[in-house]
Amino acid sequence: MRKDLNMRKGKMVAQGSHASVGAILLDRFFSFDGDKNLETEDLLSIPMDEELRQWIEGSFVKICVSVDSEQELDDIHQRALAANLRCCLITDNGTTEFNNVPTKTCLAIGPCESEKIDLITDQLKLL
């Protein structure tokens, strides 16, 4: 989650929720851009691999960490993609905050083994 945007708490929760749901329901390496019309039938995909099955049948663990800039968010996203991890980058359309400017707000990585995610995020501070 980007701390530099000073989002309201409710906005942060909503953005994190978008990313979390998107990481599971949308294509594996999807970036949501709120300005584009998307054909949902082309995007929806629930590949029930073993990691996702364990997560759903387990305790749905989520850890919220923060970054201090869009560049840092993009760097984490690129590292997750390079590691072939399920992820979802969210770009808010800007209608309720950000002066109608589409803004990258957060990224969900996983579900997968925590050790794999830790390789990407272990240097980040808890939100």
Q: How far apart are CA 6 and CA 77, in angstroms?
A: 20
Q: How many domains does the chain have?
A: 1
Provide the CATH number for the domain around residue 27.
Answer: 3.40.1490.10
**Range of 26's domain?**
9-126
**Cβ neighbours around 25 below 10 Å, total:** 14
Asked, for residue 65, whether it belongs to a domain, the answer is: yes
Model confidence at 21, in pLDDT bands (50, 70, 90)?
Answer: confident
Asked, for residue 1, whether it belongs to a domain, the answer is: no
Q: Would you state the structure tokens that stand for residue 84, as one six-digit string? A: 């072939």
Write out pLDDT tens, residues 60-115: 788 999 999 999 999 999 999 999 998 999 999 999 999 999 999 999 999 888 99
In the predicted model, what is the mean pLDDT of residues 39-55? 68
- Give the pLDDT confidence score for residue 95 in this predicted structure: 92
Asked, for residue 4, whether it belongs to a domain, the answer is: no
